[in-house]
Amino acid sequence: MFIKLQFSHNSFLTIKLFDNSAARKWFSFYSLRNANKSIPINFSDNYNNIDYYKKNKIRYKNQITEEWTKIHQSLNNLKDLGYVLDIELPAIFDYQQSRLNLLHRFFTTNAIWDHKFSDLRIHEPNPIDRNFHTTVENRQNFKNCIEQINASVHVLESFTDPENRKILDALPLNFINIMQNKISNHDTWCQFSHGEQQENYKYLQYLECGQPLALLDNSITGKNYLQNFLEDDDPSSEDCTGREGSHGNLIIDTNDNRQKIYSSDKFQAWADHYGLKNIPYEFAIGAVIDCDYREMHKFQNLSQARITYHSTI
């Protein structure tokens, strides 16, 4: 199983998928939907240019205020729906990542709870407010509120400076984004079985192939372990997981800094602090077979590619 990305000027990139159940399911699912489709490609530098935003807080002061106001408004709207919560926020954003971690966990806790119920007449108690129930009338308003909190949190995270994320100053993450589904929803989701999710634990094993790996991106309701680490968060929480499925989007590292971060003293100390043993680092779906890290720079200025799927090449 192969994926070929055809760029302009006859440049191309070929990924050979691994021969396992998860990769076969992924290949079958997305080849039916995206074969011969033009998709966005972008080259991300240093975890979405967080260093730039961190140094330019004044320039973005109005946007920061606007996003913080949206969070306040969303929490107030939830209270109007009858939701009882005890989150206390300062009037002005204080750039504390720990506060954003709390708000993000509020989102994921409620999103996971809401996703369980296709029949709104059947509800388990809400984990935060056991007396709150969504109804046909208020469910969309409820979802809009929590999704706005999530969106604003992700904007504001660009301006915080958690201690662990400073590792990116020495080991910046550079990678190619392959966006088969820029807008993700139920129809773009490919769910993996429990057995297939064991591929989350084979990242270090797959690195031994010596070629850049094609990894599932972080399109999950929650955080993966690398994001938890970089944001000084608690990986023992329910919303810290490996990839349980995919929306079809991939990343390909253009340097080997991801593995260096995982093997660093800083990451290992963080893992030891929380008693982490068998960590689902990354979900590798395949490997690039026609270029190595030294050639990846040639894709830096490209923005589109035509994706094709092949059983054999």
User: Are the C-beta atoms of residues 254 and 275 closer than 8 Å to each other?
Assistant: no
CA-CA distance, 241 to 201, in Å (whole number)? 11
pLDDT at position 7 is 81
Which residues have a Cβ under 8 Å from the Cβ of 303 and sit 6 or more positions away? 40, 41, 42
Give me the amino acid identity at 133: H
How does residue 43 score in pLDDT terms, banded at 50, 70 and 90? confident
Most confident among 42-51, 54-63, 72-81, 151-160 (mean pLDDT)? 72-81
Q: What is the value of pTM for the model shown? A: 0.88
pLDDT at position 186 is 80
How does residue 35 score in pLDDT terms, banded at 50, 70 and 90? confident
Measured CA to CA in angstroms, residue 252 lies from 24, 176, 209, 293 at distances of 19, 5, 14, 10
How does residue 33 score in pLDDT terms, banded at 50, 70 and 90? confident
How does residue 152 score in pLDDT terms, banded at 50, 70 and 90? very high
φ, ψ at 9 (rounded to 5°) = 60, 30
The answer on pLDDT for 199 being more than 80 is yes
Residue whose tokens read 């969106």: 151
CA-CA distance, 159 to 66, in Å (whole number)? 14
Instruction: For residue range 206-245, list pLDDT tens digits in order.
Output: 999 989 999 999 887 789 999 999 999 999 888 888 999 9
CA-CA distance, 115 to 138, in Å (whole number)? 15
Handedness of CA 52, 54, 57, 63 (dihedral sign): positive
How does residue 155 score in pLDDT terms, banded at 50, 70 and 90? very high
Instruction: For residue range 56-97, list pLDDT tens digits in order.
Output: 778 889 999 999 999 999 999 999 999 999 899 999 999 999
The answer on pLDDT for 51 being more than 80 is no
Closest listed residue to residue 236, CA positions, set 223, 219, 220: 223
pLDDT at position 87 is 92
Largest Cα separation within the chain, whole Å, is: 60
Which residues have a Cβ under 8 Å from the Cβ of 135 and sit 6 or more positions away? 120
User: Are the C-beta atoms of residues 229 and 267 closer than 8 Å to each other?
Assistant: yes
How does residue 184 score in pLDDT terms, banded at 50, 70 and 90? confident
| CA-angle at 114, arms to 191 and 194, nearest 5° | 25
Percent of the chain with pLDDT over 70: 95
Mean pLDDT of 90-116: 94
pLDDT at position 306 is 85
Mean pLDDT of 106-120: 86
- From the CB of residue 309, how many other CB atoms can be counted at a distance below 10 Å? 18
Q: Is the model more confident about 156 or about 46?
A: 156
User: Are the C-beta atoms of residues 65 and 196 closer than 8 Å to each other?
Assistant: no
How does residue 28 score in pLDDT terms, banded at 50, 70 and 90? very high
